[in-house]
Amino acid sequence: MLSSKFRFFQLSLSLSSSSPKPPKNAIFPQIVAIRARIRSQMGSPAYTTSSRLLFRQLFEKDSSTYTYLLADTSHPDKPALLVDPVDKTVDRDISLVKELGLKLVYAINTHVHADHVTGSGLLKSKVPGVKSIISKASNAKADLFVEPGDKIVFGDLFLEVRATPGHTVGCVTYVTGDGPNQPQPRMAFTGDTLLIRGCGRTDFQGGSSEQLYKSVHSQIFSLPKDTLIYPAHDYKGFSVSTVGEEMQYNPRLTKDEETFKNIMANLNLSYPKMIDIAVPANMVCGLQDVESKAL
């Protein structure tokens, strides 16, 4: 029986095999540039991404969760993935995928969420062929497990996996690829590790303020300053930031490590109201009955 990791790379390769691979330095003259303007409510300028990337930022109001839809529209199959889907908005997300003529192949989580139930299990039950993905370090169930340095390939685009523990032991950040025909500027889906002008709490699920500080500074702040930051949540009405903005204005992570640890130790946050429901469900891909039998 093949390991999950081997099946992951096999599946990635099969998605791209339907069209011939151009040489490394090939130019794509048939691609028509489409300028995708994404404005931050914080006054950031508009940005342009790769013409082949379809990108949508979706929102679930009860948990203030962002779900992200990405697809390679220049690939014959138009393969797509959802980052941090929510169970309550699965039907909305499926409808959008169908309307846009995409083929959903992956449902990805940045970590085991404590404030909502992931939509991965429902997506798998409603859309044939969808594979769930989570980090190996999370110890949760999924079809495929990723580790630092892995690439999640969809068409001719990919997400790079970066380990960013601290909010939970299994947190990862997914970053769009660095190379020809990959989105520019790059985009980082940071989960709860780095929020806009904030960060995730570190007082449960194996959290560590020391780890989170190191994760952000080594794995996220090391990215180009124009890299777009897309978190899993926002509670103040912001939709996007950049690495440069957070390096300059984040009220917690601009401090030295000891000051940061002191801030996190004195947040005095209330017990998460959904944690006793969400965490057990999310450990088995969001559907305890369905996923425990299928995986």
β partners of residue 72: 53
Q: Which CATH class is domain 53-287?
A: alpha beta
Q: Which residue has the tokens 């939709």?
A: 239
pLDDT digits (tens, 9 = 90+) for 234-284: 999 999 999 999 999 999 999 999 999 999 999 999 999 999 999 999 999
pLDDT digits (tens, 9 = 90+) for 190-226: 999 999 999 999 999 999 999 999 999 999 999 999 9
Residue type, 240: V
Of the candidates 148, 146, 160, 166, the one whose C-alpha atom is nearest the C-alpha of residue 217 is 166
The dihedral formed by the CA atoms of 93, 201, 254 and 235, expressed in degrees to the nearest 10: 40
* Contact between 105 and 79 (Cβ < 8 Å): yes
The SS3 assignment for 23 reads coil
The Cα–Cα gap between 180 and 174 comes to 18
Per-residue pLDDT at 292 exceeds 80: no
The SS3 assignment for 192 reads coil
pLDDT digits (tens, 9 = 90+) for 77-116: 999 999 999 999 999 999 999 999 999 999 999 999 999 9
**pLDDT bucket at 287, cuts 50 / 70 / 90:** confident
**Residue 30's pLDDT is what?**
31
